[in-house]
Amino acid sequence: MIYAYIVDTTATQVYTGRAKKVIVQVNAALTGSIKVIDNITGTTANVATITNPTVGSKYEYWGFKTGVLIIASTTCDITVSVDYNTPGQN
């Protein structure tokens, strides 16, 4: 499992390659959105758009094929965890 602590609005490539599970943990309330993208480029959310999340919220997503890209619309305080075991493996 790898982790990325994100506190700004730049696109953050958390992981490249297949990922079994991704967890987005919100450490501070955010007025804006967080895009979760299964890709290594782009800005269009194809997994989720998390809007105005509250502190302590946790979001889980499964089965990424290309990579884990996170884009926040405003300054944020989130932790993204990636379980990079290939789906179908233990």
* pLDDT above 80 for 87: no
Looking up residue 49, the CATH number of its domain turns out to be: 2.60.120
C-alpha 75/C-alpha 80 separation (Å) is 15
Residue 49 lies in a domain: yes
Residue 46 lies in a domain: yes
Residue 90 lies in a domain: no
Residue 17 lies in a domain: yes
Residue 89 lies in a domain: no
pLDDT bin (cut points 50, 70, 90) of residue 88 is low
Mean pLDDT throughout 74-88? 86
Number of helices (H) and strands (E), helices first, in the chain?
Answer: 0, 8
Number of domains in the chain: 1
pLDDT of residue 85: 78
Q: Which residue has the tokens 């599970």?
A: 21
Tell me the per-residue pLDDT of 11-69, one tens digit each, with 9 for 90 and over.
999 999 999 999 999 999 999 999 999 999 999 999 999 999 999 999 999 999 999 99
pLDDT of residue 2: 94
pLDDT of residue 86: 60
Note down the domain range covering 73: 2-83
